[in-house]
């Protein structure tokens, strides 16, 4: 090989190496960053925290299941393998289904923190699911920009005879039976939505033909992405029995503290463990709750009820 040929070969090798590096460098850099699923999980978890997320186990059909032992029984939450499926929440022999507001059949991706993400499940929207340690489940909507939908539909598959009933605070109870004899299966906590800067975004539920619909009223001033969350909390203990035994006892002591104590709404834990006692129909009904019997702690924390109930 003569001198000119060696120079030409060296130039060709240099150009080829440069082209290859130019082609692979961006991909290598991109792979070092978080995936869309990881970014979505991080955005959702910034809004919800991670302390109450229950780890899930993948089943043979691709679904993810979390089982919680409450001491009174087992609660199971199953997240679908794809966004076109439904969440299944089972406890005390009762199962409800919650379908996701998806327009694509993207597969769920479980992240390290336990959040299950369905990236691009709807236009300009990612969906995620978190099983919580109280046996509940959060269905998280991440709205990426102002071109996304403002309404998200969650079709409900409820047991025969069960009906959803919206409360004054925006939460939705699921009841069986009628009037004062109704039993509470569980509840969707009052709706919330947060912008990227942590500010609240107006949001509300409505029930239409067996579907829970969450409206998120973002506008040109909203900081995106926005996270919103229908949070299902089950009830595996007998609310009616507890109300019958303790309702008059709490009421009598609350009277000594004034009528304000009857409408106490005191959060006890960061993930909304609370109770709201209101007059409803022919008696008192616990109309907003999370965390089961721990809700009574919040009643005890209301004003002078601390002394009256202890």
Q: State the pLDDT at residue 281.
A: 30
- Residue 87 tokens read as 């969440």
Grade residue 51 by pLDDT with cuts at 50, 70 and 90: very high
> According to the model, what pLDDT value does residue 152 have?
98
Q: Are residues 143 and 162 in the same domain?
A: yes
Residue 170 belongs to domain spanning: 36-234
Average pLDDT rounded to a whole number, residues 189-217? 97
Residues 166 and 271 in one domain: no
pTM of the model: 0.70
Do 89 and 225 share a domain, yes or no? yes
Shared-domain flag, residues 26 and 111: no
In 10 A of CB 184, how many CB atoms? 22
Residue with more model confidence, 76 or 2: 76
Of all residues in the chain, what percent carry a pLDDT higher than 70?
64
**Better-scored residue on pLDDT, 284 or 37:** 37
Which residues lie below 8 Å from residue 232, measured CB to CB, with a gap of 6+? Answer: 87, 89, 96, 98, 136, 137, 138, 139, 186, 187, 188
Whether residue 118 is predicted with pLDDT greater than 60 in this model: the reply is yes
The DSSP letter of residue 108 is P
Same domain, yes or no, for 213 and 283? no
Domain endpoint, select from 203, 234, 265? 234
Q: Kindly state the helix (H) or strand (E) to which residue 30 belongs, with its residue range.
A: helix 3-32
DSSP 199: -
Residues 28 and 169 in one domain: no
Domain limit, last residue, from 176, 211, 234: 234
pLDDT band at 207 (very low <50, low <70, confident <90, very high): very high
The domain total for the chain is 3
| 41 and 156 fall within a common domain | yes
Q: Above 90 in pLDDT, residue 99?
A: yes
pLDDT at 20 over 80: no
| 117 and 265, same domain (yes or no) | no
Q: 243 with 203, same domain?
A: no
Same domain, yes or no: 115 and 250: no
Work out the average pLDDT over 39-54: 95
Burial class of residue 76, CB neighbours in 10 A (0-12, 13-18, 19+):
middle
């Amino acid at each position: 090989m003569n001198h000119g040929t060696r120079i030409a070969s060296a130039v060709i090798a240099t150009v080829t190496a440069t082209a290859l590096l130019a082609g692979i460098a961006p991909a290598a850099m991109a792979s070092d960053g978080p995936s869309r699923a990881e970014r979505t999980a991080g955005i959702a978890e910034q809004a919800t925290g991670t302390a109450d997320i229950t780890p899930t186990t993948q089943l043979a059909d691709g679904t993810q299941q979390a089982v919680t032992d409450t001491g009174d029984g087992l609660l199971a939450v199953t997240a679908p393998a794809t966004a076109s499926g439904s969440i299944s929440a089972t406890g005390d022999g009762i199962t409800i289904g919650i379908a996701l507001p998806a327009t694509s059949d993207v597969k769920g991706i479980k992240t390290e923190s336990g959040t299950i993400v369905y990236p691009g499940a709807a236009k300009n929207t990612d969906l995620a699911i978190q099983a919580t340690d109280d046996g509940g489940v959060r269905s998280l909507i991440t709205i990426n920009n102002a071109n996304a939908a403002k309404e998200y539909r969650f079709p409900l598959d409820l047991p025969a005879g069960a009906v959803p009933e919206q409360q004054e605070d925006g939460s939705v109870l699921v009841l069986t039976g009628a009037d004062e004899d109704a039993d509470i299966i569980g509840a969707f906590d009052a709706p919330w939505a947060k912008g990227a800067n942590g500010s609240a975004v107006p949001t509300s539920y409505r029930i239409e033909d067996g579907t829970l619909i969450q409206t998120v009223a973002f506008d040109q001033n909203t900081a995106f992405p926005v996270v919103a969350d229908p949070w299902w909390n089950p009830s595996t203990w007998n609310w009616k029995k507890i109300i019958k035994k303790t309702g008059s006892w709490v009421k009598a002591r609350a009277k000594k503290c004034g009528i304000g104590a009857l409408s106490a709404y005191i959060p006890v834990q960061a993930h909304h463990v609370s109770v709201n006692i209101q007059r409803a129909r022919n008696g008192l009904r616990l109309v907003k709750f999370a965390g089961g019997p721990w809700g009574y702690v919040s009643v005890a924390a209301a004003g002078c009820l601390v002394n009256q109930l202890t």
